[in-house]
Amino acid sequence: MGYNPGMRILMPPLMLVLFVSPMIVALAGARVLGMDHVTIQRGGQPLDLTGKIVTEALDGGVLLKDREGVLWAIPAEQIQQRSEDDKPFTPMSRAELSARLIEQLPGFRMHSTANYLFVYNTTPAYAQWCGALYERLYRAFRNYWQRRGFALREPDTPLVVLVFDSRESFTAYARSELGDAAGNIDGYYSLQTNRVAMLDLTGSRSRPGEFARATSVSQINRLLARPGAEWMVATIIHEATHQLAFNCGFHQRLADVPLWVSEGLAIYFETPDLESTRGWRNIGGVHTLRLEHFQRYRKRRSPDSLQTLITDDDRFRHPDTANDAYAEAWALTYFVIRRYAKQYHEYLQVMADKPPLIYDSPDERLEEFQRIFGDDLQAFDAEFLDYMDTVR
């Protein structure tokens, strides 16, 4: 079974329509206080949105974050009415958000943990299993970075995870965001909704014949500790790590963070640790699958590979080059954390400060990297490759 690296951070397609034109990429400042009300036309009906305008294009288009945490990219021509009031913006409370989710997903149940809301139509045992796994990741992720001096912020609302019992059910939800790709993807994190959506990995209908539906947490642990299941678990950890990174202050949603950074970070954490109930012992361990892939890639790697990894996110998006790019992003992250930790932390801070929807040129990306990691990219690359030769 192949290892699918996924390209599952999703950008709402509307964004491309709205902000691709150089005429309108310059953005006016967003207001700080007060709640914004915008009425738009959706399916012939007026839809009232309440939230905070995050950024505003010069042509009047806006990016609005609603109280649920969903981002709405609204072209100027869709705005029917717009007003603001003096009430401060407050994200939905846990109770409000729960009620809203159940309203949006009729027939689904809710499993609530310290930091998450799991909305599911699969077995309660699976929802509990996910809850325990995600809470462990949450603590491990935050401990890891806090120990390294990062001031993390708390998520505005509980983090939302949807769990679907079958491919049909998953596809029915995900099609509007993923299109036909919903048929081949087991889970994703959406930049638009801020939710992780995933299939029940033990679902017999998702992978016919492979697993029987588990009904207890210990049974699920046994099923997913079997050889061949690691990569499925890695997928859901990977998406959960993206969600954490975007909600704890590492990157802002829709900011132009190079994919090697966000993907490298997610892969760094993705090796699952199903055995340990207390922590996440594997953080930063060698990712064998990615390392093996990187070693194969080395044999045909072009001399400007490091440069294109930094400047060209298309390498991650194109099916022919994605596996190489993911492997190299992991390797680079692994290397800089071990050899250039101070610089990497500084670089992450620069990424965290990037505002949504402002895009850097390839030259700007390169300059930013060189300013922090050093001018001589060739020497840096040589050191990187030498170091990776020592990793087993």
Question: How many Å is the maximal CA-CA distance in the chain?
Answer: 61
| Nearer to Zn ion (CB atom), residue 24 or residue 185 | 185
Closest CA to 76 of 64, 87, 65, 86: 64
Q: Minimal distance in Å, beta carbon 60 to Zn ion? A: 33
Specify the residue, 78 or 323, whose C-beta has the smaller distance to Zn ion.
Answer: 323
CA dihedral 340, 341, 343, 345 (to 10 degrees): 160
Inter-axis angle of helices 322-339 and 341-352, to 10 degrees?
120
Q: How far apart are CA 38 and CA 48, in angstroms?
A: 6
Task: Enter the tokens of residue 179.
Answer: 């299109």
Residue type, 198: M
* Residue 298 C-alpha from the chain's centroid: 27
Q: Is the Cβ of residue 36 or residue 313 nearer to Zn ion in the bound state?
A: 313
Q: What is the gyration radius of the CA atoms in the chain, in angstroms?
A: 21
Nearest residue (CB) to Zn ion, 263 versus 324: 263
Least spacing, CB of residue 233 vs Zn ion, in Å: 15
Query: Could you tell me the smallest distance in angstroms from the CB atom of residue 263 to Zn ion?
Result: 5
- In the numeric block, which tokens belong to residue 190? 């959406």
Q: Which is nearer to Zn ion, 263 or 381 (CB)?
A: 263
Q: Which is nearer to Zn ion, 10 or 220 (CB)?
A: 10
> Least separation, in Å, of the C-beta of 61 and Zn ion?
28
User: Considering beta carbons, is residue 62 or 159 the nearer one to Zn ion?
Assistant: 159
Q: Would you say 316 and 259 are in contact if contact means Cβ atoms under 8 Å apart?
A: yes
Shortest distance, position 6 Cβ to Zn ion, whole Å? 6
| 8 Å CB contact between 332 and 273 | no
CB of 189 to Zn ion, least distance (A): 7
Q: Where along the sequence are the contacts to Zn ion (CB under 5 A)? A: 263, 266
DSSP 3-state of 200: coil
Which residue, 121 or 243, has its beta carbon nearer to Zn ion? 243
* CB of residue 265 to Zn ion, shortest distance in Å: 9
Of the pair 157, 235, the CB lying nearest Zn ion is at 235
77-to-37, 50, 208, 300 alpha-carbon distances in Å: 16, 18, 47, 49
Q: How far is the CB of 240 from Zn ion (least distance, A)?
A: 11
DSSP β-bridge partners for residue 163: 120, 198
Name the minimum Å distance from CB 266 to Zn ion: 5
Contacts of residue 93, defined as CB under 8 A and 6 or more positions apart, other chains included, come to: none
Q: Integer distance in angstroms from the first to the last C-alpha of the chain?
A: 23
Q: Which of 151, 352, 187 is nearest to 261 (CA)?
A: 352
